Amino acid sequence: MAVTISAPVGYKSANRPDDVRKVHDLLKRVAPAQGGPPASFNPAVPYSPAVTDQHIYNFQVKQFGKGSNADAVVDPARETLKRLNALAGAPGGGIGINPPPGPPAGSLPPTAPDPGKPGVGEPARAPSGAFYVGAVLLSNTVNHAYIAGYQNKPRKVKAGVFKVPTYGLLLGHYRDWEAGLLPDDDLAQFEVIRFGVKFDESKNVPGATDDDMFDVVGTCVGDFTLSRAPYLDGSWRIKGEYYIHIGPGNPRFRSDVPRELSGALGCVEVCNRKWIDFQVRVRALALGLPYLKGEIDDAAADRRITEEGLFRLLVQPAARPPLVRVK
């Protein structure tokens, strides 16, 4: 028989754990081409707006278009559940018969946790109803990048080409910051540059070696609450003049002209043309469906994330790499 649920699942709904599991399982059985989640989706993850709401909404838009039926809610007696059953291949393919009574969409059952206090396995919810977003700059290397030596004064003058390692940057939700990021469907890893090479013109004298003239400089280590900054047309300030910002599209590109290369100096540079994806993920993880549906624009999302302290970064210590000059 068709899968039934006892109360609505999704945006501002009851989201009873057993119902969420059923909806996740139905979504998993729908092909991505028909609006189902990617193959990596784990139906056992608990409810979260950036997972449950987003996948329901994506399914509805694919099946019904953007309209009243795309509300990111699976109701026991409405068309979305019927369509999920049909496409998931459930026998009967229709809505449940006489589903147990439940609260209307947008309310919580008396036994549900307070919306300001996360249940077991759920991400923490900020006072505004937003969610906390966490990033971890790992100490493990991913690959390598070619960068230019960065001369501080005058600003933006590059000298020399160097090979530096790249590192992993995890981005996801967290419930308890000390416990780390939740291993849910939205946990993503980006390749970043975290070490740069600083050139000191005053030490550029006859007989000077590279080790005399250049220093390898890394990102400050520690735990930081990030804020939006205008640097490079938009970045996330870590501390002082340290930022997370756009990096090279092809970090393995090696140019004979240093000015064409990225010049990191302790900032975290997101590589491989993933900067826009990083930005959107931060906003979607923090604000969920209202952002994804366009109810909150980018500027307003960034202000809320900054004002409410929704985005934190942990920078793990990493050994300073050797100075490797290639040009």
Q: What is the pLDDT of residues 108-164, one digit of tens each?
A: 333 333 334 444 445 677 878 788 999 999 998 999 999 998 876 655 556 889 999
pLDDT of residue 72: 87
- Mean of all residue pLDDT scores within the chain: 83
Residue pLDDT, tens place only, 228-285: 999 988 999 999 999 999 999 999 999 888 878 888 888 999 999 999 999 999 999 8
CA distance 49 to 284: 9
Residue pLDDT, tens place only, 65-100: 877 778 889 999 899 999 999 998 744 333 332 233
CA distance 274 to 272: 5
pLDDT of residue 262: 86
Task: Give percent of the chain above pLDDT 70.
Answer: 87
Handedness of CA 212, 197, 159, 202 (dihedral sign): negative
Of 51, 32, 55, the C-alpha closest to 183 is 51
Burial 46-76 (b: 16+ CB within 10 A, else e): bbbbbbbbbbbbbbbbebbeeeeebbbbbbb
CA distance 137 to 167: 7
pLDDT of residue 105: 32
CA distance 47 to 61: 20
Helix, strand, or coil (residue 60)? helix
CA distance 283 to 248: 22
CA distance 320 to 313: 20
pLDDT of residue 160: 87
CA distance 194 to 12: 39
Cβ atoms 71, 289 nearer than 8 A: no
What does the CA dihedral 80, 82, 86, 89 come to, rounded to 10 degrees?
100
pLDDT of residue 145: 96
